[in-house]
Structure formats: C-alpha cells, structure tokens
Amino acid sequence: MPGGSVGVGDEAPDFSVTSSDGEPVRLSAFRGHSAVVLFFFPMANTPACTAEACAFRDSYETFVDAGAEVIGVSADAVATQRQFAGRHRLPFRLISDSAGELRTLYGVPKTLGLFPGRVTYVIDPQGIVRYVFSSQLQIARHVEEAIRVLKTLPGGE
C-alpha cells in the first residue's frame, strides 16, 4: 500500500514522527485505545486551512467524548505549526510533513496536480480506516463527517 491510495477497510499505514510540540507520535500507539482522526491540510495561516483547523478545535471535546485523537498534518515547518497552534489555541497535535512522506504513504492527492490535497481519515481503534473524506472546498464537512462516522463506531455516542 505505500504510495497507494488508502481507502475504507484498509489498515492505516503506521508512522512514527515528532509533532510540532516535540512529542513523539506513533499511529500504532493508539491501537486498542482510541480512534484517530487524521486530517491533511495544505498550509497553515491561509483562510481555508485556518477555518478548518479552528473547526476541529471548536469540536475537539466532541472528538474526545467519542474516544478519538485528532492529528493535523501539513507541509509547514515545525516552527510555523507551533506558531499556528498557539495563535489559534489548537488543542490537538500537528505534524510537519515537509518532505511529503505521509502524504505519499496515504496517497493524498494533489488538487489540480499542484496543491496539497485536503483529506480526512477516520481510523478506528483497531487501526482500520473507516471513512475518507476528500474536498478542498467543503471545509466544515471534514469535521461533520468525521464526527458522524465516529458515532457509528463501537463505543461512539
């Protein structure tokens, strides 16, 4: 699956990286404990990406109540992500994917072949992808769809 498009029913590719707050993040560490909402966004500090990150922030307690961790991924430098998270009080982890390795691993497409795609993956506690939502423009639906799917998982509300 490396380099291929990850879809519903696939095992989510594991990764081990350091988040923008300096903490190690390994996807497999969440297995058996919590679902993960992994959202790829193009670039911090742009209007659409700020709106998306803030929508995840505003619904963060709903994600926690549903037993999910939220992780945002962009190509921004760690320092940029740290500033972005601080400015907008983002309570979830951000991961810098400056080399595009995670995007390649998950098969996140580019929009018009140029711009990094905006894709959200809902991964259940067993590490299986249960939903994929890809849309550059329907920003709010990334959060709405993720919450909807989480509520259908065992243990969801």
pTM over 0.85: yes
Residue 148 token pair: 């909807």
Sketch out the chain's domains with CATH numbers: 19-152 (3.40.30.10)
pLDDT digits (tens, 9 = 90+) for 79-104: 999 999 999 999 999 999 988 899 99
> Does position 156 have pLDDT exceeding 90, yes or no?
no
pLDDT tens digit sequence for 48-83: 899 999 999 999 999 999 999 999 999 999 999 999
- Enumerate the active-site residues: 49
Based on the number of CB atoms within 10 Å of its own CB, is 31 exposed (0-12), middle (13-18) or buried (19 or more)?
middle
